[in-house]
Amino acid sequence: MTKKAPFVVGLTGGIGSGKSAVADLFASHGVPVVDTDQIARDLTVAGGAAMADIVAAFGPQFALADGSLDRAAMRARVFGDEAERQRLNAILHPRINAESRRQIAASCGPYVLLVVPLLFETGGYADLCQRTLAVDCPEWMQVARVTARSGLAADQVRAIMTAQMPRDARLAQADDIVDNSGSLSSLALAVAEKHHDYLTLAAA
Ligand SMILES: CC(C)(COP(=O)(O)OP(=O)(O)OC[C@H]1O[C@@H](n2cnc3c(N)ncnc32)[C@H](O)[C@@H]1O)[C@@H](O)C(=O)NCCC(=O)NCCS
Ligand SMILES: Nc1ncnc2c1ncn2[C@@H]1O[C@H](COP(=O)(O)OP(=O)(O)OP(=O)(O)O)[C@@H](O)[C@H]1O
């Protein structure tokens, strides 16, 4: 007997909007999570499946001494240069998409949460997701949260935001929205509500 395709909720949001925080909350309800940022990281560790193509396209200076991707150097190269970002995307996105499908097919749970920062920008996910959820907060809050979390300067965060879909367009395209402009405890309540909705939808 063939396994029934799982119900998939695609989670998206701009940099620092709270995708990981939301994904952790869904996971705490027992929902399996497939995370494309993590898949991209796995592809670019030392010996990772994308490293040979990245070095061939960008040069050996983008690999650290241990053979893994120099993430800071690549960040500086691709955000602000659209052609270079597309070059990296062309190497990584087909592999990320294929691995996402493999992990979804192997998942067990009432439904699967698929986290994709570029869900609407990148083709190849529409047929996979029965429902889409955007996590949202004001742009100034995205910048503040990312600069507090990492060593990135506000300008670097804004350069990454420029490479992503504008907030309004993302909100217009998503089926559902979760507001993350308040506390983490109010986010937990909002996610619990959405989880309840998705259990009902997935069972229908
Ligand atoms: C450029 C890289 C090396 C920078 O690494 P770094 O550790 O600084 O960032 P990290 O991977 O944690 O990503 C942070 C956020 O940046 C944004 N982002 C990442 N890649 C992209 C991209 N190609 N275009 C627009 N935004 C992006 C997302 O909001 C993501 O959540 C890395 O982001 C990367 O390999 N990107 C290409 C893969 C990709 O497109 N990932 C997104 C999955 S759809
Ligand atoms: N409601 C909140 N209140 C306070 N801090 C928050 C809240 N939500 C998220 N954060 C913090 O803001 C930062 C960004 O959140 P998170 O990492 O979940 O975003 P993300 O969308 O996954 O980011 P990225 O696009 O970089 O992968 C983290 O340090 C997180 O702990």
176 lines ligand 2 (CB under 6 A): no
Query: How many beta carbons lie within 10 A of that of residue 156, not counting itself?
Result: 19
**Residue of 27, 3, 20 lying closest to 106 (CA atoms):** 3
2 C-alpha to ligand 1 centroid (Å): 35
**Residue 84 to residue 165: CA distance in whole angstroms:** 18
Same domain, 28 and 57: no
Residue 7 DSSP class: P
Instruction: For residues 100 and 156, state if they share a domain.
Output: no
Among 54, 82, 106, the domain-final residue is 106
Answer yes or no: do 28 and 59 share one domain.
Answer: no
Structure tokens at 141: 């809050």
97 with 116, same domain: the answer is no
**108-153 pLDDT tens trace:** 999 999 999 999 999 899 999 999 999 999 999 999 999 999 889 9
Q: Decide if the complex's ipTM is over 0.95.
A: yes
C-alpha–C-alpha distance, residues 75 and 160, integer Å:
9
Number of domains in the chain: 2
List the structure tokens of 123.
């083709």
Residues in the chain, how many?
Answer: 204
Annotated binding site for ATP: 16-21
Could you list the residue range(s) of the whole structural domain that residue 146 is in?
A: 6-32+110-204
How far, in whole angstroms, is CA 57 from its chain's centroid?
A: 24
Tens of pLDDT, residues 37-92: 999 999 999 999 999 999 999 999 999 999 999 999 999 999 989 999 999 999 99
Q: So what's the pLDDT on residue 150?
A: 86
Residue 37 is assigned to a structural domain of this protein: no
Chain mean pLDDT for the chain? 96
- 3-state SS, residue 113: strand
pLDDT of residue 2: 60
Instruction: Tell me if 165 is assigned to some domain.
Output: yes
Query: What was the pLDDT predicted at 56?
Result: 98
